[in-house]
């Protein structure tokens, strides 16, 4: 298969879409493709040098007249420039807002100069479920998705939701989130375990960006029930708007001694390696990449049953799923696993086997094949 010059547009922060975009770009570069990241900051996981990776920073435009910075305009100009001078074959934009609309604008500008740049938009979740169906955004989101040359969604749920909310005229291809097993594996980190749980307490863990949709306060409430029954510790990884409320809640419950808020962490696989159960009670989740990361490290998952989560976490097999807000059931299920060593061992093995279905070695070729398909189809447009 021939190599391509690919432009990747994403949010460079710790959010799931930025993580997927960065890991995808790194994997494509390793396979010989030339990858150009175009965003306002070096993506969080893009920390190593690779000969096939380029990073183009979108400059900030500060001017007293602008109460809101015109990021869309800066990004469009940067895309036009990079596509033209780096001779890109296609643009892959992650998270529809504003990236799909910006890419469309760049495409139109480039067409005036005789260059057709195919655009693939990957829908990640809140771009559709939270923001996309907000009426102030809806027309732009629908229009720019339809104007993309290719559309992918990270779960069957998200594909269905997009088709329910919007009038989509093209096929949406489901290409699931993926996991790199060379990084996410259960290494021996007993010294960490001793530091966190010196008396061999069970370790529960949650990772998110602490937005309301993650229902982080439910995590604290579930942990309180669990810790009243068995000695346990909770690791809270990440940061965001809900963190303060969470800290206040654990103080008012008097359980702060057993909970550690570790903030944003790069090497979460090292913490997953000492975790017994992962908690993800989200109000919505198009896929739940962190659940997959936990499962790859052989950690069973207690999650809600919404969105794409049941496509990842199989109820009664890799963990348990419950209705959103059903704290009692989530705590009871966590205890079922934690109090039964045979069940824990079985669920750990099941979680690992299920994670294998999302191995990057299986998913990456799906993206490459889709790129080629879209490139082939868009040849007609270029004429």
Which 172-211 positions form the footprint of ligand GMT (CB under 6 A)?
177, 208-209
Q: Does the protein bind ligand GMT through residue 285 (CB under 6 A)?
A: yes
Q: Does the protein bind ligand GMT through residue 20 (CB under 6 A)?
A: yes
Q: Does the protein bind ligand GMT through residue 152 (CB under 6 A)?
A: no
Q: Does the protein bind ligand GMT through residue 312 (CB under 6 A)?
A: no
Distance from the first to the final alpha carbon of the chain: 24
CB of 154 to ligand GMT, least distance (A): 4
Q: Which residues of 288-304 are buried (b: 16+ CB within 10 A; e: fewer)?
A: bbbbbbbbbbbbbbbbb
Rounded Cα distance between 374 and 377, Å, is: 5
Rounded Cα distance between 272 and 320, Å, is: 18
Select from 346, 342, 344 the least CA-distant residue to 278.
344
Q: Does the protein bind ligand GMT through residue 16 (CB under 6 A)?
A: yes
Kindly give, in sequence order, each residue whose CB lies less than 8 Å from that of residue 57, ignoring residues fewer than 6 positions away.
39, 40, 41, 42
For ligand GMT, the binding residue among 121, 144, 162, 286 (CB under 6 A) is 286
- Per DSSP, 212 falls in state G
Q: Does the protein bind ligand GMT through residue 151 (CB under 6 A)?
A: no
Instruction: For residue 207, give both structure tokens.
Output: 């990772």
Lookup result for tokens 């990772």: 207
CB of 307 to ligand GMT, least distance (A): 6
Phi first, then psi: give them for residue 360, nearest 5 degrees: -55, -30
Nearer residue to ligand GMT within complex by CB, 308 or 344? 308
Lookup result for tokens 């290719």: 150
For ligand GMT, the binding residue among 213, 280, 296, 330 (CB under 6 A) is 213
Rounded Cα distance between 336 and 340, Å, is: 6
Question: Count residues contacting ligand GMT (CB under 6 A)?
Answer: 20
382, 345 contact by CB (below 8 A)? no
For ligand GMT, the binding residue among 17, 148, 227, 322 (CB under 6 A) is 17
Q: Does the protein bind ligand GMT through residue 281 (CB under 6 A)?
A: no
Q: Does the protein bind ligand GMT through residue 289 (CB under 6 A)?
A: yes
Q: Does the protein bind ligand GMT through residue 75 (CB under 6 A)?
A: no
Q: How many residues does the chain have?
A: 383
Q: Does the protein bind ligand GMT through residue 132 (CB under 6 A)?
A: no
CB of 32 to ligand GMT, least distance (A): 25
Q: Which residues bind ligand GMT (CB under 6 A)?
A: 15-18, 20, 95, 124-126, 154, 177, 208-209, 213, 284-289
């Amino acid at each position: 298969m021939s190599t391509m010059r690919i432009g990747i547009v994403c949010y460079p922060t710790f959010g799931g879409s930025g993580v997927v975009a960065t890991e995808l770009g790194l994997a494509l570069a390793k396979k010989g493709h030339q990858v150009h990241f175009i965003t306002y900051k070096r993506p969080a996981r893009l920390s190593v040098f690779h000969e096939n990776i380029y990073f183009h920073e979108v400059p900030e435009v500060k001017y007293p007249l602008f109460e809101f910075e015109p990021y869309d305009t800066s990004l469009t100009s940067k895309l036009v420039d990079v596509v033209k001078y780096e001779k890109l074959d296609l643009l892959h934009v992650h998270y529809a807002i504003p990236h799909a609309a910006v890419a469309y604008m760049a495409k139109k500008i480039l067409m005036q100069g005789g260059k057709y740049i195919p655009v693939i938009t990957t829908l990640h979740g809140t771009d559709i479920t939270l923001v996309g169906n907000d009426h102030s955004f809806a027309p732009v989101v629908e229009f720019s998705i339809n104007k993309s040359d290719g559309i992918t969604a990270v779960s069957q749920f998200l594909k269905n939701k997009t088709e329910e909310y919007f009038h989509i005229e093209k096929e949406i291809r489901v290409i699931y989130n993926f996991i790199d097993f060379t990084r996410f594996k259960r290494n021996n980190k007993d010294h960490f375990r001793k530091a966190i749980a010196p008396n061999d307490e069970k370790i529960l863990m949650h990772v998110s960006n602490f937005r309301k949709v993650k229902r982080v306060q439910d995590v604290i409430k579930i942990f309180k029930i669990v810790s009243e029954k068995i000695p346990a510790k909770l690791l809270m990884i990440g940061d965001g708007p809900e963190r303060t409320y969470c800290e206040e809640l654990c103080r008012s419950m008097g359980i702060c001694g057993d909970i550690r808020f570790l903030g944003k962490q790069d090497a979460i696989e090292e913490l997953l390696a000492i975790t017994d159960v992962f908690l993800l009670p989200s109000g919505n989740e198009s896929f739940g990449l962190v659940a997959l990361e936990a499962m790859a490290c052989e950690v069973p998952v207690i999650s809600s049953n919404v969105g794409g989560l049941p496509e990842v976490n199989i109820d009664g097999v890799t963990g348990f799923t419950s209705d959103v807000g059903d704290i009692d059931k989530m705590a009871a299920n966590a205890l079922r696993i934690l109090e039964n060593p045979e069940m824990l061992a079985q669920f750990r093995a099941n979680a690992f086997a299920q994670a294998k279905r999302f191995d990057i070695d299986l998913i990456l070729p799906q993206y490459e094949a889709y790129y080629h398909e879209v490139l082939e189809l868009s040849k007609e447009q270029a004429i």
